[in-house]
Amino acid sequence: MKAWAYNPVVEARLNFITLAVRDLSAARTFYVDGLGWQPALWVPNEVLFIRLSPTLCLSLWNAAEFETEVGPLSGPDGLAPFALAHNVPHEAEVDAVLADAVRAGGTLFKSAVKREWGGYSGYFRDTEGFVWEVAHNPGPIGVELMAATAAPAGGEAAVEVIRSRRSVAQGRLLAGPGLDHAEVVRAVESARWAPNHKRTEPWRFYRLDGARQRRLADLWAEQLERTGSKPERVEAKRTQWASAPGVVVVTCTSSATADEKTRLEDYAATACAVQNFCLHLWAKGIATKWSTAAVEEHEEFWRLLGHDHEPADTRVVAFVFYGLAAELPKAHRRLAAQDVLVDYRA
Ligand SMILES: Cc1cc2nc3c(=O)[nH]c(=O)nc-3n(C[C@H](O)[C@H](O)[C@H](O)COP(=O)(O)O)c2cc1C
């Protein structure tokens, strides 16, 4: 066991080196055509990204845009024509890291704001005046850098994904350019590797489009109304369910001849598949919320999924809402391992 653990306030990590360049196309010719470096993102006249390592990206940024966002490059208060960036996986952590930097003796240079490119970032200066950007980038490169950062060596990567996952309420799930809906299909690929006794593969996934999701929200609101919920609750649920960026309905079907034990095992296997699905998405920067609701009792529910009537031996296991996490919820209290483990080997 380690006797001493280094526990930094802000993780020692650099994700972007940004050079302000006057002639971006000349810079591209030099780095890409001349040195043969591979562009990860190229927006003519704006920016060129080159991945230097799994967690570090070189950004060549149009100097005029750099000056607009960061500040003037010349004159008595002029900045060195480069900036360093420390990226974070969730938007809410940007302000927290900026505050930590100020507490450590740095100065807040630019408060964090939403950026046109879809992210959220601010700047601090260290004691020498060097400028650091603290950024949440929900785009593909930002997500990849964070995935690489969160990927410690060996099996620790999986452990980290399992332990860091949090349910994020529907109303806190956001859409944005960084939300790759195609990842949901890849998550289904992972989901189906769940263990399942007698290889029944009882799970089915229904990814709803916008119209179907709104219809689902309306059916749930109607069902709540019918069963006596207060109007405020009905409207709150309708809004939450309709506004999440996406939802996947996961069902479990057992064979008509299955006994109670097999039905339980099928349900358990489907629950494992749902967790695989959620963990895959979490590892890729997409948060989820597993919900259950009596909306399946509404007579129109199964038609919404494309069935003429309720399919035999089938039940809903999860409504999985997904999107980018507006903020990271606090961890819910968990019993300690020794409270839930009877360890006869100890
Ligand atoms: C079978 C199942 C059903 C759930 N249904 C709901 C639900 O209807 N509404 C809800 O707010 N959370 C629901 N959850 C999510 C739990 O509330 C959540 O996992 C729990 O609060 C622990 O939070 P965490 O996932 O962030 O650790 C469900 C979870 C499971 C496994």
- Our answer on whether the CB atom of 291 is closer than 6 Å to any ligand 1 atom is yes
Is the distance from CB of 118 to CB of 136 less than 8 angstroms?
no
Q: Which pLDDT does position 155 carry in this prediction?
A: 67
Which mutation among 251, 291, 319 tests ligand 1's pocket best, with the greatest number of atoms within 8 A of CB? 291
Task: Report the sign of the C-alpha dihedral through residues 174, 178, 182, 183, in that order.
Answer: negative
Which tokens is 222 given? 């109607």
- Our answer on whether the CB atom of 292 is closer than 6 Å to any ligand 1 atom is yes
Q: Which pLDDT does position 279 carry in this prediction?
A: 97
Residue nearest to atom 18 of ligand 1 (CA): 167
- Our answer on whether the CB atom of 130 is closer than 6 Å to any ligand 1 atom is no
- Our answer on whether the CB atom of 162 is closer than 6 Å to any ligand 1 atom is no
- Ligand 1 centroid to residue 287 C-alpha, Å: 13
Q: Which residue has the tokens 């974070």?
A: 88
- Our answer on whether the CB atom of 330 is closer than 6 Å to any ligand 1 atom is no
> Where along the chain do the CATH 3.10.180.10 domains lie?
16-145
3-class SS of residue 165? coil
- Our answer on whether the CB atom of 167 is closer than 6 Å to any ligand 1 atom is yes
* Angstrom distance (rounded) from CA 9 to CA 334: 24
Q: Which pLDDT does position 154 carry in this prediction?
A: 62
> Residue 45 is which amino acid?
N
Task: Report the sign of the C-alpha dihedral through residues 258, 264, 269, 274, in that order.
Answer: positive
3-class SS of residue 111? strand
> Where along the chain do the CATH 3.40.109.10 domains lie?
154-325
- For residue 247, the number of C-alpha atoms closer than 13 Å in the C-beta half-sphere is 26
* Angstrom distance (rounded) from CA 231 to CA 240: 14
- Ligand 1 centroid to residue 171 C-alpha, Å: 15
Is the domain defined by 16-145 classed in CATH 3.10.180.10?
yes
Q: What is the DSSP letter of 167?
A: B
* Angstrom distance (rounded) from CA 165 to CA 322: 13
Instruction: Render each residue's pLDDT in the chain as its tens digit; 346 residues.
Output: 344 555 567 888 899 999 999 999 998 998 888 888 889 899 999 999 998 888 899 999 999 999 999 999 877 778 888 889 999 999 989 999 999 889 888 899 999 999 999 999 999 998 878 899 999 999 888 988 888 887 665 667 788 789 889 999 999 999 987 899 999 999 999 999 999 999 999 999 999 999 999 999 999 999 999 999 999 999 999 999 999 999 999 999 999 999 999 999 999 999 999 999 999 999 998 999 999 999 999 999 999 999 999 999 999 999 999 999 887 788 888 888 989 999 999 8
- Our answer on whether the CB atom of 215 is closer than 6 Å to any ligand 1 atom is no
Q: What is the DSSP letter of 175?
A: -
Which tokens is 229 given? 């919920």
Is the distance from CB of 343 to CB of 319 less than 8 angstroms?
no
Which mutation among 162, 167, 170 tests ligand 1's pocket best, with the greatest number of atoms within 8 A of CB? 167
Which mutation among 165, 166, 172, 292 tests ligand 1's pocket best, with the greatest number of atoms within 8 A of CB? 292
Q: Which pLDDT does position 53 carry in this prediction?
A: 83
Q: Which pLDDT does position 8 carry in this prediction?
A: 66
Fold of 154-325: NADH Oxidase (3.40.109)
Q: How far is CA 310 from CA 201, 213, 298, in A?
A: 19, 19, 10
> DSSP of 19-88, one letter per residue?
EEES-HHHHHIIIIIIS-PPEEEEETTTEEEEEEETTEEEEEEEHHHHHHHT--SSSTTPPPSEEEEEE-
- Strand extents, DSSP E, the chain: 16-21, 39-43, 47-53, 56-62, 82-87, 107-114, 120-125, 131-136, 173-174, 203-207, 246-253, 287-291, 314-325
